[in-house]
Amino acid sequence: MSTHHGEYKVSGGKLVTLDFDVTGDDPATLTNVRISGDFFLEPDDALPLMNEALEGQPVDASVEQLSGAIQAALPAGTHLIGFTTEAVAVAVRRALTGAAQWHDYEWSILREPALSPMMNAALDEVLTAEVGAGRRGPTLRIWEWNEPAVIIGSFQSVMNEVDEDALAARGAQLVRRISGGGAMFMEPENSITYALYAPEELVRGLTFAGSYAFLDDWVLEALRSLGIDAEYKPLNDITSPAGKIGGAAQKRIAGGAVLHHVTMAYDMDADAMTDVLRIGREKLSDKGTTSAKKRVDPLRSQTGLSRGEIIDRMVEVFRGRYGGTDDRVTEAEYADAERLVAQKF
């Protein structure tokens, strides 16, 4: 019999903790299940029912199967506040798969001088590979860049997404990043972009979609501390009642690391964005609006703070939750990124 411990922090919600044993039977099953956390649950006696629902569940049960078993055991009128049956199931899967927790690592924080957009994109690839190879620990990096650019997703068509004449007229670079997702028009000082480079084990047991909200939960806390009612909208948007704030993208590499990067609008020039990007009516309609200007609401208008002050708060919240030591990009990492700029980006 083996003992397992798992945790899962619900995006914008509470922490769910699971402790249980796994029998040595064939097939192996869960036993001695104990659910805990800082959530709220009414009535109180629903908790033992949830524990009992997981007793005897096979170790290869999916999140959907585990969540369904818990839901079936709860009487009508049960209220789960700050968590869900799916969150409990995710905590089980993370415990069984050996997923790491944020505090299992010593995080580095990078705030380097401004670079070209191409160098920033290249560094994302280099630093992710370095984490995967074990030569660098998990890292948070704040992008700074020195000229405007359109950063296009790895699967997008330049012809369909970008007006290259308008791009050239604005003196902007065109850069294809290694992650999927949509195109973004980014101007220095008008956007906030950060990247996380983490071992794959940090998101083990999560669905691909679930990992997005998991990796950005600290940012929601930072934005809320600034008075923004921020929330995560699947798959990859950070939003508020005033409009979309930003979007995330991911790339997982063979070496066992995850690149997760996010761009948020600070003081976006909507006219420039619609001039450079070919944002079609179909794309706008699925966001519930007919105007690109209404789709993105800058952080400046919601906080009245400078871009630097918002970034400082983000870093402060990250350190408070997970720790973090100031670090630098090494000469070797810069050299690798410069080679990628010449050969790829």
Reported as a single tens digit per residue, the pLDDT across 105-155 is 999 999 999 999 999 999 999 999 999 999 999 999 999 999 999 999 999
Reported as a single tens digit per residue, the pLDDT across 89-113 is 999 999 999 999 999 999 999 999 9
Mean pLDDT computed over every residue of the chain:
93
Domain CATH for 37: 3.30.390.50
Q: State how far the alpha carbon of 272 is from the alpha carbons of 72, 98, 147, in Å.
A: 52, 47, 14
Burial grade of 248 (CB within 10 A; 0-12, 13-18, 19 or more): buried
The number of folded domains in the chain is 2
Taking residues 274-281, report their average pLDDT.
Answer: 76
Contact of 94 with 104, CB cutoff 8 Å:
no
34 and 154 inside one domain = no
Out of 55-59, 146-150, 166-170, 267-271, least confident range: 267-271
pLDDT at 282 over 80: no
DSSP letter at 147 equals: S
68: left (phi over 0), alpha (psi -120 to 50) or beta: alpha
Domain-ending residue, one of 45, 77, 97: 97
Q: What is the pTM of this model?
A: 0.91
Q: Residues 6 or more apart from 218 whose CB is under 8 A from it? A: 314, 317, 318, 321, 322
Spatial distance between the Cα atoms of 172 and 135, rounded to a whole number of angstroms: 34
pLDDT at 293 over 80: no
89 and 219 inside one domain = no
Show the domain range for 121: 102-343
Domain CATH for 192: 3.30.930.10
69 and 147 inside one domain = no
Domain-ending residue, one of 43, 68, 97: 97
119 and 252 inside one domain = yes
